[in-house]
Amino acid sequence: MKTASRLLLPIDVAMSERLLGAALGDLATWRVWLSVLKAAFALPLTDAERALFVEVAGGRSSPGKRVREFWCVAGRRSGKSRIAALLAVYFAVFVQHKLAKGERGMVLVLAMSLEQARVVFSYALAFLRSSAVLADEIAEVTRSEIRLRNGITIAIHSNSFRSIRGRTLCACVF
């Protein structure tokens, strides 16, 4: 069964310095990621962003509508873990999910190992804590989960079939 969701804020706006960008530092160093993410969400691209997207997308043009799945092949030190954490926080905070009363939705991040999962967890927590606006959204933090006031939990686990059973998944980042 699919659940309806609605974007509350476009990804490029959510990456502003007051919100998710507070933990990224100089946003100019993230321009390729921003271009790719804007394309994935079917947001208008500037000529420079379109050129960056075409370059990293193997000559393909940007999608005409928001993608259902986003696959990325990127090298070491390209910021994959930080972007995984950014996307987890984005889907948890800036996307409205339709949940039943009392139901807790989950944005699940699966990492290859427990060590990698902890890295992504630290980044996700930093995205929330670095922004005065987003810090207020944190209700509780456990070893592997960040429970938000909006009824969404960001859960970060090592890759295991046991980590996804019996949960309402609003978004998944692998």
Q: What is the pLDDT of residues 49-63, one digit of tens each?
A: 999 999 999 888 889
pTM above 0.75, yes or no: yes
What pLDDT digit, counting tens, does each position of 124-158 carry? Answer: 999 999 999 999 999 999 998 999 999 999 998 87
Distance CA 72, CA 85 (A): 14
Maximum pairwise Cα distance, the chain = 46
